[in-house]
Amino acid sequence: MYFCKMFEEKKTATTSIASLGEFGLIEKIKENFGIQDPTSIKGIGDDAAVLDHADKTVVSTDFLVEGVHFDLSYMPLKHLGYKAVMVNLSDIFAMNALPTQITVSIAISNRFPVEAIEELYAGIGHACSRYKVDLVGGDTTTSQTGLIISVTAIGTAKEEKITYRSGAKEHDLIVVSGDLGGAYMGLQVLEREKAVFKVNPQSQPDLSTYAYSIERQLKPESRKDIVELLDELNIVPTSMIDISDGLSSELLHLAKASSVGCQIYEDKIPIDPEVLGICKEFAINNTTAALNGGEDYELLFTVDQSHFEAIKNHPLLSVIGHVTEKAVGCNLVTGLGQQIELTAQGWTSHQEEEEQGN
């Protein structure tokens, strides 16, 4: 965690987990987590939590594995805890539902002191209070190496509001919230600074010009505001997914689940000016960053054309294209008017294919 000092003061206390024991650790965690959501009847402390959902219940779960999903050399534990919750709440919002509870399990090696676990749960707690969800259970155990976090998010929605990936219809508008590519470019900056830091640990880089992108990577938000906005606008999307792996991959998921094709326009993809600047600096095509970058946790959804007026100028939403018949496939129209087929890991240019075919 040497690199963390770039971001925060480290505490020096190092209480061993063994000295506290598993039950001691659970008690310590429990102290900071009461239950507030009216659907939480019983939280931490019994064999199971008890919930009271008048509407439908939605459930999603994700693993975060050290060395695979996060690098503690630049990811402060508090941010990691926050992000672990966001990743899962994002899946609940992608159902057009509102999260009510989470469970968090951690497997952690003895190299972490109790204070590190407290940092992690401080981030989890911050996410819970900000998004008004209750931590109602979990498991704490030893791992032989590293840190593994498993979060299960539970939410609720009226049946008629629940939005699957499978309902997109031809001519629907394709809409994305916020902007894309920031989390991926933030990661590029952090990886570069880590490499610099290894060579010169005294370096104190000025990262202020990358602040937005780094925050997108280290402390993403999930789009509760969009679910609330859709409710206010009386819009139930025909299909929805959250953007965790990149716009291209998620569009293909929606298209496959709905048995449709799609056409999106390069010029319509929302990208923050800071991200455009970093793309230039790193010589990465900004459309590539948006299509394949991942971890933006924005919402991608389709709505009936009749809603165009209601959303076309909304600052949080961008209409990026429309749903087509399945036979057309999924395509991007570039700024120069070329049509390019989208693939999960980038895109294949028809032109290139044809050239190779000749």
Q: Determine the residue type at 117.
A: I
Residue at token pair 């534990």: 77
16 versus 166: smaller Cβ distance to its own copies: 166
Tell me: does residue 18 bind its own copies (CB under 8 A).
no
Rule CB under 8 A: choose which of 1, 26, 65, 207 binds its own copies.
65
Rule CB under 8 A: choose which of 3, 29, 60, 121 binds its own copies.
60
Paired with 106 in beta bridges are: 140, 149
**Residues in 100-139 that interact with its own copies by CB under 8 A:** 101, 103, 105-107, 136-139
In degrees and rounded to multiples of 5, residue 129 shows phi and psi of -75, -35
**Residues in 161-180 that interact with its own copies by CB under 8 A:** 162, 164-166
**Residues in 211-240 that interact with its own copies by CB under 8 A:** 240
Helix (H) or strand (E) holding 299: strand 298-303
Q: Determine the residue type at 284.
A: I
Q: Which DSSP symbol is given to 23? A: H
**Distance in angstroms (rounded) separating the CA atoms of residues 282 and 185:** 9
Taking the mean position of all CA atoms in its chain, how far away is CA 18? Answer: 33
Tell me: does residue 144 bind its own copies (CB under 8 A).
yes
Site string for its own copies, 145-164 (x = CB under 8 A): xx-x-x-xxxx---x--x-x
213 versus 249: smaller Cβ distance to its own copies: 249
Site string for its own copies, 31-50 (x = CB under 8 A): ----------xx--xxxxxx
**Distance in angstroms (rounded) separating the CA atoms of residues 102 and 141:** 18
- Count of residues near its own copies by CB under 8 A: 59
Rule CB under 8 A: choose which of 10, 56, 314, 326 binds its own copies.
56
C-alpha count within 13 angstroms, C-beta hemisphere, residue 43: 23
Q: Is the dihedral of CA 275, 280, 283, 285 positive or negative?
A: positive
Binding site for its own copies (CB under 8 A): 41-42, 45-53, 56-63, 65-69, 91-92, 94-95, 97, 101, 103, 105-107, 136-139, 141-146, 148, 150, 152-155, 159, 162, 164-166, 240-242, 257
